[in-house]
Amino acid sequence: MASEIVSARNLIKTFGGLTAVDGVSYSVEPGQVSGLIGPNGSGKTTLFNLLSGQFPPTAGSVFFEGRDITDLAPFHRVQLGMARTFQLVSVFSRLSVWENLVLPIVRFKKKDQGLGRFYLKNKQGRGLFEDCEQALDTVGMTSKAFVPTSELSYGDKRLIEIAMALALKPKLLLLDEPLAGLSDHEISEVMQIIRSLKGQLTLILIEHKISKIIDLVESLCVMNEGRIICQDRPDAVLADPRVRECYWGTEESC
Cα–Cα dist 200/146, whole Å: 27
Which amino acid is located at 164 in the chain? M
Residue 42, interface with ligand ADP (CB under 6 A)? yes
Residue 15, interface with ligand ADP (CB under 6 A)? yes
Cα–Cα dist 29/195, whole Å: 17
CB closer to ligand ADP out of 45 and 231? 45
Cα–Cα dist 204/96, whole Å: 28
Which residues in 95-124 contact ligand ADP (CB under 6 A)?
A: none
Residue 46, interface with ligand ADP (CB under 6 A)? yes
Interface with Mg ion (CB under 5 A), residue total: 2
22 to 41: interface string for ligand ADP, x by CB under 6 A:
----------------x-xx
Residue 85, interface with Mg ion (CB under 5 A)? no
Residue 27 interacts, among Mg ion, ligand ADP, none and using kind-specific CB cut-offs from 5 to 8 Å, with none
Residue 18, interface with ligand ADP (CB under 6 A)? yes
Residue 143, interface with ligand ADP (CB under 6 A)? no
The secondary structure element, H or E, covering residue 243 is helix 241-247
Residue 46, interface with Mg ion (CB under 5 A)? no
Q: In what order do the strands lie in the sheet with 82-84?
A: 82-84, 172-176, 202-206, 33-37, 219-224, 227-232
CB closer to ligand ADP out of 19 and 113? 19
Cα–Cα dist 19/181, whole Å: 27
CB closer to ligand ADP out of 105 and 230? 230
Residue 125, interface with ligand ADP (CB under 6 A)? no
| CA torsion through residues 62, 161, 197, 130, sign | negative
| Strand-pair category, 227-232 with 82-84 | unpaired
Site residues for ligand ADP per CB under 6 A: 15, 18, 20, 38, 40-46
